[in-house]
Amino acid sequence: MEIIAFVNNKGGVGKTTCSKLMAEYLSKTKKLRTLCIDFDPQCNFSHQYLDMEIDPAAPEGLIPPIHPDYNPHDPDDIDWDGRSSIAEIFYGQGVIPYPTYVEKLDIAPGHAEKLLTAESVRRSEVVDKVHKQLSNFLNHPDVQAEYDAVVIDTAPSKGPLTISVIKAATHIIIPSVMEEQPVQGIYGMLQLWMQESLVREKTRPLHLIGILPNMFKQTRLHKDILRSLQDNPAMGKYILPVKFSQRIVFAEVDAADSTPRSIFDFPEQHVAKSEAEEVCSYIAERIFA
């Protein structure tokens, strides 16, 4: 089971869009049993596949909807409120992924309040209570047996939630807009990659697939910054040879009532679809080859 995470502590660089495209490519095109995990308290990734709800009692944000398998009359479900998020791993509860409209694609949604609470754990407890939990969950034999791939969307931070993702991942990809501030975000993520790499056993290294230029525009700014990263002797080989261009259609499919709902359902010759396939197949090739 490969665990792929999109990370960048700068917000708005397209982590969620990339996660979504990758998850759909793996499940729809590669026919891999794929689990999406939303580790961002904003829960945008979850909202792509589930009708996330706003709980008046939880003013912090979104909560997952009632699970389709939940039956209040079933004695097995008596201790369950019918909702399950990935944040349950911090509370010793089981996680019950939700099916999505895509075959072979499940999601363990976020839970704004619970994720925020986990992130605010006291410093001295954070290692045991947060850092290791996701890795423990994903290493569980049941989870390993159920899925071929896991795609994790992360919060725009370098905090405990992102660190636990880095600790659990087998591969990370850093999407970035080719502008100064998002590139600074790359630095933050490389630092986490470095800290984790020094700690990891050599037998299961954390692979940095690379930096994925996202929302790319054919402007001098984007072209020059991409070029300067590519020309850097240390960094050049980590700049992916594929990129996502700035296209409104990537945002349009995110809208709740869009048809089709996935880029991969567009006609074969659609420019956005072929671009998505090019990027995702490149990444999949690197990971699964």
Residues that bind other proteins (CB under 8 A): 180, 183-184, 186-187, 190-191, 193-194, 197-202, 205, 208, 220-221, 224-225, 228-229, 232-235, 238
Rank residues 9 and 44 by Cβ distance to other proteins and give the closer one: 9
User: Least Å distance between CB 107 and other proteins?
Assistant: 31
Rank residues 73 and 204 by Cβ distance to other proteins and give the closer one: 204
User: Least Å distance between CB 128 and other proteins?
Assistant: 13
d(C-alpha 118, C-alpha 147), whole Å:
25
Give the rounded distance of the alpha carbon of 269 from its chain centre.
Answer: 27
d(C-alpha 60, C-alpha 77), whole Å:
26
Residues in the chain: 289
Residues sharing a CB contact under 8 Å with residue 190, sequence separation 6 or more, in sequence order = 174, 208
Rank residues 91 and 187 by Cβ distance to other proteins and give the closer one: 187
Rank residues 140 and 200 by Cβ distance to other proteins and give the closer one: 200
d(C-alpha 101, C-alpha 86), whole Å:
19
User: Least Å distance between CB 235 and other proteins?
Assistant: 5
Rank residues 127 and 249 by Cβ distance to other proteins and give the closer one: 127
Residue 36 pairs in a beta bridge with 107, 151
User: Least Å distance between CB 126 and other proteins?
Assistant: 13
User: Least Å distance between CB 187 and other proteins?
Assistant: 5
Rank residues 139 and 181 by Cβ distance to other proteins and give the closer one: 181
User: Least Å distance between CB 194 and other proteins?
Assistant: 5
